[in-house]
């Protein structure tokens, strides 16, 4: 232990547990790679203003959760609390959206920062993998993204998650609905902050998790009953495409992302084994966001899945990921000459893609065998002066305990053959 500890609400990912996280990130990315999504990486911080506009001034993220600071040069920056605003900013800045390129399909994976009250599944530094399809209005893209996330979760072996789906309408039908909702909400018994929200962001009130509020929301007007014909048709198509692909979803008329530039399709992946932090991922359409950032009209849709909560969901379901062993071959040299020979063998194996490790520091046989056992290696290779004088190394099968001499020159090939078999 040193004097220092990880900051409150953060965690270190240490081996062996870190392998799970990496495997989850890769499993989420894999379906995206097969669907034409290109990898994008953006800075860990951006101008505060980007998030104020791109996430929304009235959201918890911007008002309470953002790590904002001023640089020595006087710039107002914030650690990124989410990915969409940055990705859209970068795509616009890089001109990815130019002629004939649409949709621009991108995926990302990284760390995000929110000043939250830390608890299980809710951290101040966490990881997301996300995907965005920019510049196209087509129910097939919305459906595609939901299908790809579903595919990722399935490939991980998750079963008891649910997909909640809703439509938020668009600029034509939402304003009238918004006003109807405001009228309803103004008649309720709500606290000061929530009343303020009715003016700025009334849809968000529907998302209030407090029982006292939820009770009063029974009977609230729902957007599904106020969709215009276009939005209704669009939503029906998304639902039909999902159904045709066998992706089960639940209509949740109260599911919201309450900002003006969020439109139409909105969805969330929830897992019931996670207690109150039940959302493992979420997303939706944000047709007005590009214009909010000063860009051209660029109707888009995307999602972000939480890596941490996905790992917790796997644990809750008792799913063990089939992780390949980190070490397949462990080499134990006894003496200086053997060191050179086995170091060379290990290097050769690694070049051939075999995970191989080495007993460093001139450790004795007993300690080295313990390390070999801990490493999970399927084979150890031991060599001493006498073995080398006979031109062999001792190859030991760690499972059966069987040990055979193998000529030095054939050792690498023999190991590769056995590991393949
Ligand atoms: P919540 O309602 O739980 O606060 P959110 O709506 O703020 O979630 P999004 O902004 O949609 O979450 O982010 C997408 C996903 O990122 C979430 O579903 C969750 O899995 C993950 N996530 C969000 N905030 C955190 C956090 N503080 N710690 C860990 N994971 C998080
Ligand atoms: Mg949140």
- pLDDT value at residue 220: 95
Closest atom of ligand 1 relative to the 278 alpha carbon:
3
Residue 329 CA to ligand 2 center (angstroms) comes to 45
Tell me which of 261, 283, 317 is where a domain ends: 317
Query: Where is 144: in which H helix or E strand?
Result: helix 139-156
Phi/psi at 386 (5° precision):
-65, -40
Tell me which of 285, 317, 349 is where a domain ends: 317
Domain shared by 54 and 75, yes or no:
yes
Q: With a threshold of 0.75, does the pTM exceed it?
A: yes
Domain shared by 309 and 372, yes or no:
no
Q: Is 282 in the pocket of ligand 1 (CB under 6 A)?
A: yes
Which CATH number covers residue 375? 3.40.50.800
pLDDT per position as a tens digit, 315-364: 999 999 988 888 999 999 999 999 999 999 999 999 999 999 999 998 99
Domain shared by 398 and 372, yes or no:
yes
Which residue intervals of 266-407 are DSSP H helices? Answer: 289-292, 307-317, 336-351, 365-375, 385-389
Provide the pairing of β-strand 329-333 with 250-251.
unpaired
Which residue intervals of 257-306 are DSSP H helices? Answer: 289-292
Q: Is 128 in the pocket of ligand 1 (CB under 6 A)?
A: yes
Residue 116 CA to ligand 1 center (angstroms) comes to 11
Query: Where is 86: in which H helix or E strand?
Result: helix 84-93
Residue 281 CA to ligand 1 center (angstroms) comes to 7
pLDDT per position as a tens digit, 28-80: 999 999 999 999 999 999 999 999 999 988 888 998 999 999 999 999 999 99
Domain shared by 295 and 246, yes or no:
yes
Identify the CA nearest to 148 among candidates 111, 105, 97, 110.
105
Distance between CA atoms of residues 389 and 340, nearest Å: 14
Q: Is 116 in the pocket of ligand 1 (CB under 6 A)?
A: yes
Closest atom of ligand 1 relative to the 281 alpha carbon:
18
Q: Which domain holds residue 363?
A: 329-420
Other residues' Cβ atoms within 10 Å of the Cβ of residue 389: 9
Q: Is 205 in the pocket of ligand 1 (CB under 6 A)?
A: no
Domain shared by 262 and 406, yes or no:
no
Residue 61 CA to ligand 2 center (angstroms) comes to 7
Would 271 be classed as within a structural domain?
yes
Burial of 81 (0-12, 13-18, 19+ CB in 10 A): buried
Chain position carrying tokens 């944000």: 286
Distance between CA atoms of residues 9 and 115, nearest Å: 9
pLDDT per position as a tens digit, 214-243: 999 999 999 999 999 999 999 999 999 999
- pLDDT value at residue 68: 97
Tell me which of 261, 295, 317 is where a domain ends: 317
For the four alpha carbons of 189, 57, 90 and 126, in that order, the dihedral sign comes to negative
Would 77 be classed as within a structural domain?
yes
Domain shared by 255 and 356, yes or no:
no
Domain shared by 303 and 157, yes or no:
yes
Domain shared by 259 and 292, yes or no:
yes
Domain shared by 237 and 312, yes or no:
yes
Contact 45, 80 (CB under 8 A): yes
pLDDT per position as a tens digit, 231-288: 999 999 999 999 999 999 999 999 987 677 789 999 999 999 998 889 999 999 999 9
Domain shared by 146 and 245, yes or no:
yes
């Amino acid at each position: 232990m040193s004097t220092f500890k990880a900051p409150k609400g953060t965690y270190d990912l240490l081996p062996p547990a870190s392998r799970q996280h990496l495997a989850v990130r890769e499993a989420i990315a894999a379906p995206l790679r097969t669907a034409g999504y290109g990898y994008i990486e953006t800075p860990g911080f951006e101008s505060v203003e980007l998030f104020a506009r791109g996430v929304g001034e009235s959201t918890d993220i911007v008002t309470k959760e953002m790590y904002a600071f001023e640089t020595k040069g006087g710039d107002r920056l914030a650690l990124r609390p989410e990915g969409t605003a940055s990705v859209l900013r970068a795509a616009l800045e890089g001109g990815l959206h130019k002629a004939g390129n649409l949709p621009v399909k991108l995926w990302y994976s990284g760390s995000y920062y929110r000043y939250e009250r830390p608890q299980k599944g809710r951290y101040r530094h966490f990881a997301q993998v996300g995907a965005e399809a920019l510049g196209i209005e087509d129910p097939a893209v919305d459906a595609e993204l939901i299908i790809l996330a579903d595919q990722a979760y399935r490939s991980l072996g998750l079963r008891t998650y649910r997909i909640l789906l809703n439509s938020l309408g668009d600029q034509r039908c939402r304003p009238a609905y918004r006003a109807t909702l405001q009228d309803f909400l103004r008649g309720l018994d709500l606290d000061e902050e929530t009343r303020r929200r009715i003016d700025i962001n009334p849809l968000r009130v529907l998302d209030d998790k407090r029982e006292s509020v939820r009770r009063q929301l029974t009977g609230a007007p729902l957007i599904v009953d106020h969709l215009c014909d276009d939005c209704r048709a669009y939503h029906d198509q998304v639902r039909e495409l999902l159904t045709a692909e066998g992706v089960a979803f639940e209509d949740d008329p109260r599911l919201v992302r309450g900002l003006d530039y969020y439109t139409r399709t909105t969805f969330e992946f929830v897992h019931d084994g996670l207690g109150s932090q039940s959302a493992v991922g979420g997303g939706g359409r944000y047709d007005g966001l590009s214009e909010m950032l000063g860009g051209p009209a660029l109707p888009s849709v995307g999602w972000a899945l939480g890596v941490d909560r996905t790992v917790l969901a796997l644990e809750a379901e008792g799913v063990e990921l089939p992780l390949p062993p980190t070490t397949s071959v462990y080499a134990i040299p006894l003496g200086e000459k053997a060191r050179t020979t086995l170091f060379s063998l290990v290097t050769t194996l690694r070049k051939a893609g075999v995970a191989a490790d080495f007993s460093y520091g001139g450790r004795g046989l007993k300690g080295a065998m313990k390390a070999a056992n801990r490493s999970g290696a399927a084979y150890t290779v031991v060599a001493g002066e006498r073995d080398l004088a006979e031109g062999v190394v001792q190859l030991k099968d760690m499972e059966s305990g069987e040990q055979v001499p193998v000529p030095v020159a054939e050792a690498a090939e023999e190991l590769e053959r056995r590991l393949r078999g």
